[in-house]
Amino acid sequence: MNDNTIVGLMNISAGFLITILCIPLVKRKIKMNRWYGMRIPKSFKSEENWYKINEYGGKIFIYWSIPIVLIGIISLFLPPSDCVKTNFEFLFSHYSTLFDYKLGLLNHFLSVFCLPLGEKGTIILGLVPLLVILPTIQLLIYSRKI
C-alpha cells in the first residue's frame, strides 16, 4: 500500500464519517443536547431553532463531504513517488543520538502524508479535511437569519 492510498482512504473515511453522523441531524432525530449536533448558541434558544439549524447544518456538511470523498478517490489513482524530505532532519541534526530514534519515527509518520504533487500540492491535499470550516461558516450565517 503506497502513501497515496493511505491519504486517499483517510479522506474517503472522513467524508463518509461526516455523512453518517449528519444523517440523523437531517432527519431531525436528535433531541436538543450538549454532545451531538450543531451546538451553536442560537440552536439552544428553542426546540424549533435546534431542529432547523441541525437539519440545515447536516445537509451542508453532507454536501461538503462530497469533495472530501472525491479528492480521496483521486488520491488513490495518483502514482507513488519519493516524498520531499522534511526539515526535521536539518532542525534536529545538531542534537545527540537520543533524538535520532524519535526523529526517525516522526519522519516516517510525516512521510505517510506526502503526495507526488510537490510541496504546494502536499499542503493543499493535507488540508482537505479542513473543508468542514466552510459549512460551519455557512451554518453561522444561516443561524443569524433565524
- Domain coordinates in residue numbering, the chain: 3-78+119-145, 80-114
Q: 139 and 57 in contact (C-beta within 8 Å)?
A: yes
Closest CA to 58 of 146, 132, 145: 132
Whether the predicted pLDDT of 66 surpasses 80: yes
Q: What is the pLDDT of residue 56?
A: 98
Average pLDDT, the chain: 78
* CA–CA separation, 62 and 46 (whole Å): 24
Whether the predicted pLDDT of 104 surpasses 70: no
* CA–CA separation, 137 and 23 (whole Å): 20
* CA–CA separation, 105 and 86 (whole Å): 12
